[in-house]
Amino acid sequence: MALDKAFIKEMETGLKEEKIKLTAQLAEISTNSSRNPGENTASFPNFGDAEDENAAEVTTFSNNLTLERTLETNLRDVDKALASIAAGKYGICKYCHKEIDEKRLRARPASSSCIDCKKKLTLEG
Ligand SMILES: [Zn+2]
């Protein structure tokens, strides 16, 4: 049973919205490197020069750094999913090449592996 076109279209719309959201979030907390487009650098905030302000800057910066990595990874997954739609290979598990369950895709449209493979990978660490 192949995924139907309407479903794929729905996922594509969701992924594009997700991409816009992720890009906006990334822009808020990081600066895009002109040397490496697609590579972002977390912004270092400037609250002031007092000791507690400096400490708060470091905390915010490290939070930004973590968030930036998460957002970048998510954005990469979304891009991959959009590319697979364009290639007509959306919804195929990258490990076992079987179709990914629609429910799983609906919950996470950027999924690139089926639940079984994901479970196996998690168990293997
Ligand atoms: Zn699989």
User: What letter does residue 99 receive in the DSSP assignment?
Assistant: B
Residue 55 CA to ligand 1 center (angstroms) comes to: 45
- CA–centroid distance, 71 to ligand 1, in Å, is 25
**Mean pLDDT, residues 78-105 taken together:** 95
Q: What are phi and psi of 124, to 5 degrees?
A: -75, -10
What proportion of the chain, given as a percentage, has pLDDT over 70?
Answer: 91
Q: What stretch of H or E contains 40?
A: strand 40-42
C-alpha of residue 17 to centroid of ligand 1, in Å: 26
Task: Give distance in angstroms: CA of 76 to centre of ligand 1.
Answer: 20
On the question of pLDDT at 66 being above 90, the answer is: yes
Span from the CA of 103 to the centroid of ligand 1 (angstroms): 15
In the structure, what pLDDT confidence band is assigned to residue 34 with cuts at 50, 70 and 90? low
Task: For residue 22, report the distance from its CA to the centre of ligand 1, in Å.
Answer: 27
Task: Tell me the pLDDT band of 42, cut-offs 50, 70 and 90.
Answer: confident
State mean pLDDT over 28-32. 83
- For residue 20, the CA-to-ligand 1 centroid distance in Å is 28
**pLDDT at residue 40 greater than cutoff 80:** no
Q: How far is the CA of 31 from the centre of ligand 1 (A)?
A: 36
Structural domain count of the chain: 1
| Predicted local distance difference test score (pLDDT) of residue 3 | 83
Q: Which domain holds residue 17?
A: 5-124
For residue 115, what is the domain's CATH number?
Answer: 1.20.120.910
